[in-house]
Amino acid sequence: MRSLTVMVVVMLATVAHADIRTLAECRSAVSEDAAAVREEAARWITLGGGAEARLCEIAALEALGAQRVAATKLTELAQDRGTAISTEARAVMFADAGRMWLNQGQLVLARKTLEASAALAPEGAEHLAPLAELEMEEENWEAAEAALTRLLAVGPENNRYFLRAIARRQAGLLEGALEDLAEIPETEKVRLERALIWAAQGKAEAAQVLALSLASETDDHDIRAAARELLAARALVDAPAGLEAADRPVLRDESVDAAAPESGPSPMPRP
């Protein structure tokens, strides 16, 4: 027989989530006990809670790490024409489902749901951030640049400028990429991206000096590796006459496992 203490705890836990009947209550409770909220949401659904109850269940599933199941249920809910969900809300659901699919590496499903969101709300912004991430993941640089430009029109943020600089460099819009970097604080990632842009512009000496500085000063392994990879690229193999011999790049380093690329610098790892 369970002890009285255990029975009281169980009763209190049940009472704590038994009255969830709105999304606001659901979201507040999810942060405390997502598993209990999922069970309560299931009961709410059977009692006719409709779309709100289904959204509550989805929120609990996502909090529990079941993103694939959550994405599936959210996509199905957004597609369900039998619910009294507004077009705007449906667009947000598709965008959120797209984000979940993207997190799962399901790029085809991510694109389908994000396109559905854009079709429902062409002027909306909910789908733009995951869409930009998807385009960069698939190396559709011009499309990524366009999505990030729209996103920056909604609200300027440092990371959006940084990502657009990468997309612009890859699309060959080098001056625009430098303009984006000028909008954000100077960091090691920004300096590395600037070196990559200079290398693409043919400014080998400037790119080399900056890459050498990063390779010798940074404590970030990824940035150091990317800087050394840039130094080993064909465009920078021959040190310019203006550099002292001691400052010329070391093209063979036993501590670096990555082989030098056959042509040009590779894209910088995404932040």
For residue 190, the Cα-to-chain-centroid distance in whole angstroms is 18
The pLDDT tens digits of the residues spanning 128-165 come to: 999 999 999 999 999 999 999 999 999 999 999 999 99
The answer on pLDDT for 4 being more than 70 is: no
H-assigned helices in the chain: 4-18, 23-30, 34-46, 50-63, 67-79, 87-103, 107-120, 128-137, 141-154, 158-171, 174-181, 188-201, 204-217, 221-232, 234-237
Residue with tokens 């733009």: 128
Confidence at residue 23, expressed as pLDDT on a 0 to 100 scale: 84
Q: Over pLDDT 70: what percentage of the chain?
A: 79
What value does the mean pLDDT take over residues 185-209? Answer: 96
Please enumerate, as own/partner, the contacts of 89-93 that have beta carbons within 8 Å and a separation of 24 or more. Answer: 90/120, 91/116, 91/117, 91/118, 91/120, 91/121, 91/124, 91/126, 91/127, 92/117, 92/124, 92/126, 93/117
The pLDDT tens digits of the residues spanning 69-78 come to: 999 999 999 9
Q: In this predicted model, which residue has the larger pLDDT, 257 or 177?
A: 177
Q: Rounding to the nearest 10 degrees, give the CA dihedral for residues 229, 231, 235, 241.
A: -170
Pair 107, 126: CB distance under 8 Å: no
Task: Give residue 14's pLDDT band: very low, low, confident or very high (50, 70, 90).
Answer: very low
Domain ranges of the chain: 7-65, 82-138, 141-185, 189-271
Confidence at residue 13, expressed as pLDDT on a 0 to 100 scale: 38
